[in-house]
Chain A
Amino acid sequence: MPVQGLRTVAAARNGVGAFILQCKRLDFNYCTHGGSSRGMLAFLTQTLPDFARENPQIEIRVAPRHNKHPVIKGQYINGKEKAICVRNMEPGEILKKAMILKDASGDKLKRTKKPVTSLNESVRGIWSPYHGDMRGV
């Protein structure tokens, strides 16, 4: 056998070709008689239809959750879930929280130490001590 092929799986690069929004589903929970849900109820009736129309990639569920604070939960493609409690918030604030969940990737928050992370190897290559002329000191 002169040369054999090794089987691998091509790695995904989200956003290089198509961009897949990582937020799959947003659950909006509210309570009908609790005071902390007042802003949430206004948000559900006024803002949510437009939000849903602008983000058709996200499945939206609205469900009552009685005698509890209102919560927005995001389900992500990596299987994780993120929840934000929106008690006593105005509809504008709730929209901001929904946008946070929408834009999140679902991963845990990580500190990025390197300015660039890439699958490609460096164009310049690694410096080698065995090549090039000796420099005078």
Chain B
Amino acid sequence: MKRLQLQRWSSTVLSPRARTSNRLHQHLCSSSLRHQSTVAAVQESTPELKYRLNNAHKRSANLQYPSPPVNAALDSAKLASLHARLYLPSRLPLQTLARTLVDASADSNVDFNNESLATLGHDLLTYYTSEHLLCTYPRLPLSVVFAAMYAYVGPKTLAAMSKEWGVDLATLPGGEVDPGYLQFKRVPPGTVLDAETEQNGKRKNWRKTVTSKVVYDDEFGDPIKGSSNSSVGVPAELARATSVRALMGAIYLHAGRPAAKLFFEQHFLSRSLNISQLFNFSQPARDLTRLCARENFEKPVAKIISETGRLSRHPVFVVGIFSGQDKLGEGAGASLLEARERAALAALKGWYLYSPLNVRVPSSMEEEGASPWNPAHVDLGEVIS
């Protein structure tokens, strides 16, 4: 929040003892005996008055800066409480924490904004998340890996985390603002954010395959945008996400790799994500047939396990999909087709969500005294039909 200019009336409102400096107040209080007694206190408290006046001048001197000066971080109660609330390592100084809250749209100077820290933090976050996903669920299709990455470290999740940490937004960035607020330039109302994608309804690229996304796109499978013009302003969600990434980078720089990994595990990996809900199959039965052909299983056959009320209004069929003697999956539905689709879906999810026991990630080898590395399970990949 941008503060009001306290300079002029801070002496009259904030400090009850400094009232004599205001002529109007003197006039108002001239009839009251009790207020005269406060006038007597003025002479005792001149050091305090001076301190307040000095502070007011300091604040106005900060107006010339686009973001709060470095030494203001030590005086901010908000910043200190945020530091304690997140259990940040004591080696991460308040000044750096203040810097992670200054977006590039607020202060374009790279020495004072969080852009460089965010770049580092983004790389760390995506590295830790992707190795976790690939080692825990080695058979996940790539499109689901993209979705899971987005759910763990996508901008929406990071913005939600920043909210859950209690980071408040500054209405306007500036040097006199409390450094505990997230400072960024807001987008003016009516601005079209996705100007590139909406060019007269024409799409720029027609790449749709997952393979091309691996090569050309970012870690969420989105096309990489050029550097955004931050002088216009950034949405609050993006500013929040950048500040969370910058905090990750700052922890890595100041407290080292183990602290950064611990922070990642405590704040990011501890979130709940049901990966089995990220799948969207269009032809599960066909995919399952292809999968069985690839893995040299017997051809999958759907069989009714039990049924009730076939001629009634609410029939229920329980269908299992069998490959030889092995039941791959089972599903219940109101029609035979629906039950078969569900069974095929269960079978495919059972295959794709395989997770080895005792999962280790490559970055665990960076710990001291780590046991020798056993190769992680590497799968053939998803079924392409």
- Beyond A13-B271, A59-B77, whether A2 also contacts B145 by CB under 8 A is no
| 8 A Cβ contacts from B53-112 to A | 77-78, 80-81, 83-87
Interface residue from B83, B87, B287 paired with A2 (Cβ < 8 Å): B287
Binary contact readout A38-78 vs B (1 if CB under 8 angstroms, 0 otherwise): 00000000000000000011111100100000000000010
- Beyond A6-B277, A7-B150, A130-B306, whether A59 also contacts B157 by CB under 8 A is no
Interface residue from A3, A9, A10, A32 paired with B143 (Cβ < 8 Å): A3
B283: chain A residues at CB < 8 Å are: 2
The reply to whether A13 and B147 form a contact with Cβ atoms under 8 Å apart is no
B21 at the interface (CB under 8 A from A): no
Stretch at the interface among A16-24, A83-91, A93-101, A109-117: A16-24
- Beyond A3-B281, A5-B143, A9-B157, whether A18 also contacts B87 by CB under 8 A is yes
**For chain A, what secondary structure do more than half of its interface residues adopt (helix, strand, loop), or is it mixed?**
loop
The reply to whether A2 and B141 form a contact with Cβ atoms under 8 Å apart is yes
How far is B330's CA from A102's CA once the two chains are assembled, in angstroms?
Answer: 50
A11: chain B residues at CB < 8 Å are: 271-273
Interface size for A (C-beta < 8 A) is: 36
- Beyond A5-B148, A18-B267, whether A12 also contacts B161 by CB under 8 A is yes
Interface residue from A9, A21, A56 paired with B160 (Cβ < 8 Å): A9
A130: chain B residues at CB < 8 Å are: 305-308, 316, 318, 332
A122 at the interface (CB under 8 A from B): no
The reply to whether B164 and A3 form a contact with Cβ atoms under 8 Å apart is no
The reply to whether A14 and B164 form a contact with Cβ atoms under 8 Å apart is yes
How far is B141's CA from A5's CA once the two chains are assembled, in angstroms?
Answer: 9
Interface residue from A5, A18, A21, A59 paired with B147 (Cβ < 8 Å): A5
The reply to whether A3 and B279 form a contact with Cβ atoms under 8 Å apart is yes
The reply to whether A10 and B273 form a contact with Cβ atoms under 8 Å apart is yes
State how many angstroms separate the Cβ of A127 from the closest Cβ of chain B. 13
Closest to B180 in A: A59
Closest to A22 in B: B166
How far is B221's CA from A1's CA once the two chains are assembled, in angstroms?
Answer: 15
The reply to whether A2 and B385 form a contact with Cβ atoms under 8 Å apart is yes
How far is B6's CA from A128's CA once the two chains are assembled, in angstroms?
Answer: 69
Interface residue from B160, B166, B272 paired with A24 (Cβ < 8 Å): B166
Closest to B87 in A: A18
B182 at the interface (CB under 8 A from A): no
How far is B152's CA from A10's CA once the two chains are assembled, in angstroms?
Answer: 6
| 8 A Cβ contacts from B291-305 to A | 305
Point out which of B77, B145, B267 has the most chain A C-beta atoms below 10 A from its C-beta.
B77
B265 at the interface (CB under 8 A from A): yes
The reply to whether A131 and B271 form a contact with Cβ atoms under 8 Å apart is no
B382 at the interface (CB under 8 A from A): yes
The reply to whether B81 and A17 form a contact with Cβ atoms under 8 Å apart is no
B271: chain A residues at CB < 8 Å are: 10-13, 17
| 8 A Cβ contacts from B196-246 to A | 208, 221
A128: chain B residues at CB < 8 Å are: 332
How far is B81's CA from A7's CA once the two chains are assembled, in angstroms?
Answer: 33
A123: chain B residues at CB < 8 Å are: none
How far is B305's CA from A59's CA once the two chains are assembled, in angstroms?
Answer: 62
The reply to whether B85 and A7 form a contact with Cβ atoms under 8 Å apart is no
How far is B287's CA from A58's CA once the two chains are assembled, in angstroms?
Answer: 54
Closest to A4 in B: B280
List 24 A-B residue pairs with CB atoms under 8 Å apart, sorted by A's residue number.
A2-B283, A3-B280, A3-B281, A3-B382, A5-B144, A5-B147, A5-B148, A7-B147, A8-B147, A9-B151, A10-B272, A14-B164, A17-B267, A18-B86, A20-B85, A24-B85, A56-B80, A56-B84, A57-B84, A61-B77, A129-B308, A130-B307, A130-B308, A130-B332
